[in-house]
Amino acid sequence: METDKTVKILLVDDEVKFLKAVSDRLSIKGFDVTTAANGDDAIEAANKGGFDVAVVDVQMPGTDGSQVLKILKQNHQFIEIIMLTGHATVDSAVECTRLGAFKYLEKPYDFDKLVEALKEAYQARLQKKFESNLKRMEAIQKLSTHQSPLGLLRAMAKLDDNRK
């Protein structure tokens, strides 16, 4: 992958053998992978580490994949999330898409398709972050022409308060 840094992946699945196998294969491909075997651990890990993309199993005991998706999207502005499931339904796919999932893939999964989806999700994340930063810079530039230095600092603080 042609990036300046290693893409940080959060891989979430309650099937531990599957989790280890996919994690090992993604690590060999050069991804920085952190795993979580349940939804609560995934949310905790996401709060600790700036992940670029999460791959989340839909059906898990306790906090399920759609709940994890919803919480991660609320708390992490630029993260992209790929849902992975062995129990695909149209309703589940629609719900996950509505909640902001980048892709919805079925198990058994094709590893090359997963890697391609991760690369696409990472590029989408970079684009969103770039556009957000561009808007912020334009807003600061606009503010700077109409404000005293103290007024500009207050306006910038307000801009920062509006970001997640």
For the stretch 67-108, pLDDT in tens is 999 999 999 889 999 999 887 677 777 788 888 899 998 888
Per-residue pLDDT, averaged over 59-74, amounts to 92
For position 162, what pLDDT does the model report?
Answer: 63
Counted domains in the chain: 1
The position carrying tokens 């060999």 is 28
Please indicate, yes or no, if residue 106 is contained in any of the structural domains: yes
Please indicate, yes or no, if residue 103 is contained in any of the structural domains: yes
The H-or-E segment that residue 16 falls in is helix 16-28
Please indicate, yes or no, if residue 140 is contained in any of the structural domains: no
Domain that holds residue 48: 8-128
Please indicate, yes or no, if residue 29 is contained in any of the structural domains: yes
Please indicate, yes or no, if residue 2 is contained in any of the structural domains: no
Is pTM, for the whole model, over 0.85? Answer: no
Give the CATH number for residue 76: 3.40.50.2300
Look at residue 7 and give its three-state secondary structure: coil
Please indicate, yes or no, if residue 13 is contained in any of the structural domains: yes
For position 24, what pLDDT does the model report?
Answer: 96
10 backbone dihedrals φ, ψ, rounded to 5°: -105, 115
Please indicate, yes or no, if residue 31 is contained in any of the structural domains: yes
For position 1, what pLDDT does the model report?
Answer: 42
Q: Which residue has the higher pLDDT, 38 or 89?
A: 38
**Which residues lie closer than 8 Å to 23 by C-beta, 6 or more apart?**
11, 33, 35
